[in-house]
Amino acid sequence: MIPAAELIKCLQLINSENVGPVTFYKLIVRYRSLDNALESLPSLPKYRLFSKAQAQREYELARSKNIQIISIFDDEYPNELKQINDAPPILYVRGRLDLLKAPAALAIVGARNASINGRKTASHIAYDLTNNGVLVVSGMARGIDSAAHKGAMYARNQKGATLAVLGTGVDVPYPAENRRLYEQICEQGAVVSEFPLGTEPQAQNFPRRNRLVSALTQGTLVVEATTHSGSLITARLALEQGKDIFAVPGSPQDARALGPNKLIKEGAILAESADDILSHFNPEKQQQLIEYVDKLQKNADYPAKDNLKEASPPNDDVKQSETSSIIDCLSREGTLVDEIIRKTGQDAATVSLALLELELSGRIERQPGNKVALIK
């Protein structure tokens, strides 16, 4: 980490009036240092300097909220993000900082008004990817984004990590209905934003957020999107960044399938499962994933995987029986997941998937302490 004094200078410059990421770098190049840029800024009529006192208050506020601030000059800054010319000079992170350097990551995006099948597809793919060492990244919006985050966190015996990129301040959960999801992500994964603390939702900030969602990953999966969806903006940005585009096909009678179907026609990789995505990682990346999963498994309490392939799902009759026995163990007060596993005699992966289905259908909710409860 760079010294606090240098970080405060970065906060000053990027928060100065009319200074965005591109201008931030141009000013440093023009004046040959961060100090010189700050000293020269007041003489430039177009800009208004963000005071040192204001930057100091921002820094202290972040510390008081257990939020980490990293700059592009820090080793912790994600390498993938450095490849775009408007990479944010400052990132606010609440949660696990190490996830910014995950060996592989995939963005999952899609419709806010997603269908039940669309949400299930996003969740199951996120679940399988997380079990195979791939970090799932999304924007914490309603619909597909939320389903992807939930699927990832149900993986690894409900200890899976996920990364949410916000279009608000990192301390402002949006939409408000996702506050509990936000807290769960902060606990198991991380929430990231380039916007100052306290930044409320503004329409122009979400396209900016989308470029980070795509830039932080090796590819983007689109699950349900109309032809005017913001998810297609993320896909376009990913293409411009040289990333792979995956899409889940759908019925041509459903407007939410028009976006993915169009992407597939234009050359996107058709994806119906996590295997379709994993098979497109190059051999070097595959080996990194295997080593990463092996490392995670050394002290883990979930079954080890011999390779990157996920076991085939059980048939519908078996799933229905398993789900019924799990429901019998639940209460409105909350039940520990470990207790459900013990009572049903089912393995952790089977229980996690069944609980994910029940949450997506609105029948249960997650609680702190690895508990789930029937919705009252």
Q: What is the mean pLDDT of residues 231-244?
A: 89
CA 170 from centroid of its chain's CA atoms: 13
Strand order in the sheet with 90-95: 68-71, 90-95, 190-193, 162-165, 135-138, 105-110, 219-223, 244-247, 269-270
Interval 204-226: pLDDT, tens: 999 899 999 999 999 999 999 99
Bridge partner residues of 332 (DSSP): none
pLDDT digits (tens, 9 = 90+) for 110-139: 999 999 999 999 999 999 999 999 999 999
Contact 129, 160 (CB under 8 A): no
Say what the pTM is.
0.85
Length of the chain measured in residues: 376
**Mode of pairing for the β-strands spanning 190-193 and 219-223:** unpaired
Q: Where are the extended beta strands (E) located within 258-307?
A: 269-270
Spatial contact of 111 and 148, defined as CB atoms under 8 Å apart:
no
pLDDT at 348 over 90: no
Query: In the structure, what pLDDT confidence band is assigned to residue 311 with cuts at 50, 70 and 90?
Result: very low
**Residue linked to tokens 């019998």:** 328
Sequence-distant contacts of 55-62: CB under 8 A, at least 24 apart? 55/8, 55/9, 55/11, 55/12, 55/15, 56/8, 58/11, 58/15, 58/196, 58/197, 59/4, 59/7, 59/8, 59/11, 61/197, 62/92, 62/197
Helix, strand or coil, per DSSP, at residue 139: coil
Contacts of residue 342, Cβ cutoff 8 Å, sequence gap at least 6: none
pLDDT of residue 313: 44
Other residues' Cβ atoms within 10 Å of the Cβ of residue 103: 18
The rounded distance, in Å, linking the Cα atoms of 124 and 145 is 13
Fold of 98-283: Rossmann fold (3.40.50)
What are the domain boundaries of the chain? Answer: 1-64, 98-283, 316-374
pLDDT tens profile 183-206: 999 999 999 999 999 999 999 999
In the prediction, which pLDDT does 304 show?
A: 42
Give the fold, CATH level 3, of 316-374. Answer: Arc Repressor Mutant, subunit A (1.10.10)
DSSP bridge partners of 366: 372
How wide is the angle at C-alpha 211 spanned by C-alphas 230 and 47, nearest 5°? Answer: 115
